[in-house]
A and B are shown apart, each in its own frame.
Chain A
Amino acid sequence: MSHWNSPNLGRMMATVAVVIGGTGVPPVAHGQDARATRELKPAGEATGTLAFRDAMDYAQKRCVRLYGGGAGREHGYATGLLVSPDGLILTAQGIYLGSDSLRAVLPDGRRFEAKEVRRSEKLQAALLQVEAKTPLYFNLADEARVEQGDWVFAVSNTFNVAAANEPLSVCLGVVSLRAEMEARHRKQDVPYEGEMLLVDAITSNPGSPGGAVCTLDGKLVGMIGKLFQSVNTRTRINYAVPADMLRRFVEGKDDKEETPPPVEPAEPPPGQGAYVGIRLFKLSGEKAPAFVDAVAPGSPAQAAGIRKDDLLLTIGQEVVRNCRECDEALARLRPGQEVKVMLKRGMTIQSLMLTPAAQSEKPK
């Protein structure tokens, strides 16, 4: 904490205004020499102090604007992060990557054609290369630790409002949560795997993906990811792909190496599923709550103590909100593997252990 040199919040906020408002910001220096003189060292190094403005300045000089082709509601611009001295750029996946000419505009205004190096399906990210020396970059090895409630700021080409050499937009917020969550893009499920760092700064805007999310001392905590909707809330989520996951991707650790091969397929092949022996009450549709309409005599369900008119609430760890979800959860069960089932009977909740049998044991 000592390196903070007791900055005061009021002043810090004021500096944010200066950065956001674009007033009083010294014009971005051109050319290597000028930039070198303005380069800032991350906190903890030589100077030991780094004010809020400096942290933002530091981050802004390491973000690029990307331009490709857009289509329909998909915008053709985004943000990228410089992550190496020889022109490697991290960004989020989007339609702009598919464009014939993908251009990167560096913070000093230089423009380069960017080539795609590789993609990560898991992170919905991409690594690009420009033929330029970029002495200012985010060092992914320099890991930042953040807790819930810590201040972070996002730097991005949001709505493409920063023109020519204007610095990118900065937006302030706190870390909301780091968690895995189910996400969708338009109506499709998203192949994103792993945790997301939710922030309460608004980052789910066109052009923001690929932007930097940094701590107050300028360290990168994540990259704003592709625009997704949360399945749970149906709202757009403001999140960053955590920096540690980005580092593994840039270091070239293949996606496949990272994910252990699935031990079992998500759903057993047809005919090999488990036999439980319940029939759900589906007269009012798949979205109806999973009330048990009948329990087959001698079935695993009966052995577990499930009765007619019980309402299934959870199967294993999964909450089953309706018949469809219940069917899906039952289809994933394996013969012989005991699961905890929670059900509502009258106004009480019962917890039972269910051991499904093999389909072959189903009475004909």
Chain B
Amino acid sequence: MRQVESLLLCCVPRAACRVPGKEPNPAPVRARVPSPFSRITHHAPRIFRSPARGTRHAARNALFVLCALLAPALAAEEEAHPRLVSKAFRAAAAKVLPSLVTIESYGGVLAPPPPPKAKGGPMPRRRMAPVSKPGEGPTTGVVISPDGFIVTSTFNFLRQPPVITVVLRDGSRHVAKLCGRDETRGLCVLKIEGVKDLPVPAVAPRGGLKVGQWVVSMGVGYGGDAPALSAGIVSALERFSGKAIQTDANLSPANYGGPLVDVEGRVVGIAVPLAPGGGAAGEGVQWYDSGIGFAVPLSDAEPVLARLKKGDVLRPGKLGIMPQPGAAPGGGVTVQDVQKGSPAQKAGIQAKDIVLAIGDKAVRDLLALRSLLGRHVAGDTVSVKFKRDKEEKTVSVTLDAGEEQFPQPTPLIPDHHPPAPKQP
């Protein structure tokens, strides 16, 4: 057990890892569990072959091959025994288990019908990812406050169930109210009433995360009382404009909404399906169990969670410009056209202007612009610096959700009752 403890202290300085009562090792045991990986795994995300099953093999194979190449160099370090690693996984999972909840949904239909075609307009896009239907089973959530706020993934409510209940680890069932949702992160918050002193898990500070560190994911989606556990490493720290981290632990509908936990039993993030295309509900689920999974870190999501608790719906923030692809000469993005009534137009941005910076971050090209805007949601005010005829100007723009706004599905009202008409 002592070994496990030292293993759990993986983030503390070497000296602290020494086993008390023993002579300090000349070469102290480096109980940093993932160290054979941590230096090399930044290669893993590049292995983005087909977003299909088996990608994970590719990633792992590549990892192992790299390990093989680096093995002589690494042999000097003493690593944690695989069985200790397993023990650490169990210990970490056990720490978060009391905060894990089972979410059940009742009723609900799958995809909302596509919005009607506007006169003369293009055929509206169906806001449903091309995935098989979500399952019918329970889903996973994590308690984030002692008084009954629970965070989970929006994926779990694709069917828009009118009634949601939450089963706590003590087996008690509660009616849950769906508060706000963040469509850019795929997170939403539930609230249950009449509870107090619920166990809230520790949260791992984002700054301490390292590529290559072990993580464990948990979820109750397969059914049954105990959660299924899957293990992996952190693959990347910045994905989707920094909103998510990437892991190679198996993430799937079995654990979306569930926690990704570090070996110390702290919640690193909440597992969500995300995809670079973004937007459509449930997009990203096609990568389930592929070795490419995403989690939204909780440590810096506090302001977001506060808004979700209030019931806000956060949507991607749009400027409302049509940019020219690539970069303008000398950096920046040339505005080809400005949408009528858009935030950009209201702020006085015109065609042929060159956007130079968002906030204090320089915009090198279109990709940078997308990434910088991706950090904001509709309603956020950002300062935009642009150049017009050699003159530089800075304006303040309040982003909106853009004109691509579809009629939103009816809000999920938990105490919704069937409509009035009587059965004959």
Contact surface of A with B, Cβ cutoff 8 Å: 1, 4, 6-18, 20-21, 23, 52, 147-151, 159, 169, 171-177, 179-182, 198, 200, 202, 204-205, 216, 230-238, 279, 281-284, 287-291, 293, 309, 311, 313-314, 319-322, 342, 344, 346-349
| CB pair B135 A14 closer than 8 Å | no
B406 at the A/B interface (Cβ < 8 Å)? no
CB-defined contacts of B77 to chain A, threshold 8 Å: 8, 10
| CB pair A235 B253 closer than 8 Å | yes
B149 at the A/B interface (Cβ < 8 Å)? no
A-B contact list, 29 entries, CB within 8 Å: A4-B81, A6-B81, A7-B82, A9-B85, A10-B70, A148-B90, A149-B90, A159-B54, A169-B57, A171-B57, A172-B60, A198-B222, A200-B229, A200-B230, A200-B249, A230-B135, A231-B135, A232-B223, A232-B254, A287-B109, A291-B418, A314-B173, A321-B104, A321-B107, A344-B165, A347-B193, A347-B414, A348-B175, A349-B174
| Complex Cα gap A131–B184 (Å) | 61
| Complex Cα gap A321–B165 (Å) | 11
Determine which of B53, B80, B221, B414 lies in contact with A202 in the assembled complex, contact meaning CB atoms within 8 Å.
B53
Determine which of B68, B86, B162, B288 lies in contact with A149 in the assembled complex, contact meaning CB atoms within 8 Å.
B86
CB-defined contacts of A319 to chain B, threshold 8 Å: 104, 138
| CB pair A17 B67 closer than 8 Å | yes
Nearest chain B CB to A72 CB, angstrom units: 19
**Of all chain A residues, which has the CB nearest B104?**
A319
| Complex Cα gap A156–B364 (Å) | 48
CB-defined contacts of B260 to chain A, threshold 8 Å: none
CB-defined contacts of B371 to chain A, threshold 8 Å: none
Nearest chain B CB to A113 CB, angstrom units: 31
Q: Which of B223-245 contact A (CB under 8 A)?
A: 223-224, 226-232
| CB pair B60 A171 closer than 8 Å | yes
| CB pair B80 A9 closer than 8 Å | yes
| Complex Cα gap A202–B224 (Å) | 21
Query: If A17-B64, A232-B135, A232-B138 touch, does A177 touch B226 (CB 8 Å cutoff)?
Result: yes
Contact surface of B with A, Cβ cutoff 8 Å: 35-37, 53-54, 56-57, 60-61, 63-68, 70-71, 74-75, 77-83, 85-87, 89-90, 93, 104-109, 132-138, 161-163, 165, 173-175, 177, 193-194, 216, 221-224, 226-232, 249-250, 252-254, 288-289, 414-415, 417-419, 421, 423
| CB pair B175 A349 closer than 8 Å | yes
| CB pair B289 A177 closer than 8 Å | no
| Complex Cα gap A314–B138 (Å) | 13
Determine which of A20, A52, A311 lies in contact with B163 in the assembled complex, contact meaning CB atoms within 8 Å.
A311
| CB pair B53 A147 closer than 8 Å | no
Please give me the 6 A-B residue pairs with the lowest Cβ-Cβ distance, nearest first.
Answer: A232-B137, A17-B64, A289-B107, A10-B36, A200-B230, A14-B71
| CB pair A176 B229 closer than 8 Å | yes
**Of all chain B residues, which has the CB nearest A15?**
B68
| CB pair A233 B82 closer than 8 Å | no
CB-defined contacts of B193 to chain A, threshold 8 Å: 347
| Complex Cα gap A242–B135 (Å) | 25
CB-defined contacts of A238 to chain B, threshold 8 Å: 250, 289
| Complex Cα gap A176–B221 (Å) | 12
| CB pair B82 A17 closer than 8 Å | no
Nearest chain A CB to B422 CB, angstrom units: 8
| CB pair A291 B417 closer than 8 Å | yes
Nearest chain B CB to A11 CB, angstrom units: 6
| CB pair B223 A182 closer than 8 Å | yes
| Complex Cα gap A236–B288 (Å) | 10
Q: By CB atoms of chain B within 10 A, which of A10, A204, A235, A313 has the most?
A: A10
CB-defined contacts of B74 to chain A, threshold 8 Å: 10-11
Q: By CB atoms of chain B within 10 A, which of A7, A174, A283, A314 has the most?
A: A174
| Complex Cα gap A17–B67 (Å) | 7
Query: If A237-B222, A238-B289, A349-B165 touch, does A7 touch B135 (CB 8 Å cutoff)?
Result: no
CB-defined contacts of A344 to chain B, threshold 8 Å: 163, 165, 175
CB-defined contacts of B418 to chain A, threshold 8 Å: 281, 283-284, 288, 291, 293
Query: If A174-B86, A282-B423, A349-B165 touch, does A20 touch B107 (CB 8 Å cutoff)?
Result: no
CB-defined contacts of B79 to chain A, threshold 8 Å: 8-11
Query: If A17-B64, A172-B60, A344-B163 touch, does A1 touch B83 (CB 8 Å cutoff)?
Result: yes
| Complex Cα gap A176–B230 (Å) | 6
CB-defined contacts of A11 to chain B, threshold 8 Å: 71, 74-75, 79
Query: If A149-B231, A319-B104 touch, does A20 touch B64 (CB 8 Å cutoff)?
Result: yes
Query: If A1-B83, A9-B81, A282-B423 touch, does A321 touch B174 (CB 8 Å cutoff)?
Result: no
Query: If A200-B230, A291-B418 touch, does A180 touch B57 (CB 8 Å cutoff)?
Result: no
| Complex Cα gap A61–B262 (Å) | 36
| CB pair A234 B134 closer than 8 Å | yes
| Complex Cα gap A151–B273 (Å) | 26
| Complex Cα gap A174–B249 (Å) | 10
| CB pair B107 A200 closer than 8 Å | no
**Of all chain A residues, which has the CB nearest B250?**
A200
| Complex Cα gap A11–B229 (Å) | 25
Query: If A14-B68, A235-B289 touch, does A289 touch B253 (CB 8 Å cutoff)?
Result: no
Determine which of B75, B89, B106, B162 lies in contact with A8 in the assembled complex, contact meaning CB atoms within 8 Å.
B75
CB-defined contacts of A14 to chain B, threshold 8 Å: 64, 67-68, 70-71
CB-defined contacts of A176 to chain B, threshold 8 Å: 228-230, 250
| CB pair A231 B75 closer than 8 Å | no
CB-defined contacts of B177 to chain A, threshold 8 Å: 347
Nearest chain B CB to A157 CB, angstrom units: 14
| CB pair A202 B288 closer than 8 Å | no
CB-defined contacts of B289 to chain A, threshold 8 Å: 202, 235-236, 238
Determine which of B64, B106, B194 lies in contact with A13 in the assembled complex, contact meaning CB atoms within 8 Å.
B64
| CB pair B175 A233 closer than 8 Å | no
Nearest chain A CB to B83 CB, angstrom units: 7
Nearest chain A CB to B132 CB, angstrom units: 5
CB-defined contacts of A148 to chain B, threshold 8 Å: 89-90, 93, 226, 229
| Complex Cα gap A59–B200 (Å) | 43
**Of all chain A residues, which has the CB nearest B176?**
A347
| Complex Cα gap A171–B104 (Å) | 34
CB-defined contacts of A169 to chain B, threshold 8 Å: 57
CB-defined contacts of B419 to chain A, threshold 8 Å: 283
CB-defined contacts of B90 to chain A, threshold 8 Å: 147-149
| Complex Cα gap A84–B123 (Å) | 63
| CB pair B423 A281 closer than 8 Å | yes
Determine which of A17, A147, A150, A282 lies in contact with B61 in the assembled complex, contact meaning CB atoms within 8 Å.
A17
**Of all chain A residues, which has the CB nearest B291?**
A202
| CB pair A321 B136 closer than 8 Å | yes
| Complex Cα gap A327–B137 (Å) | 18
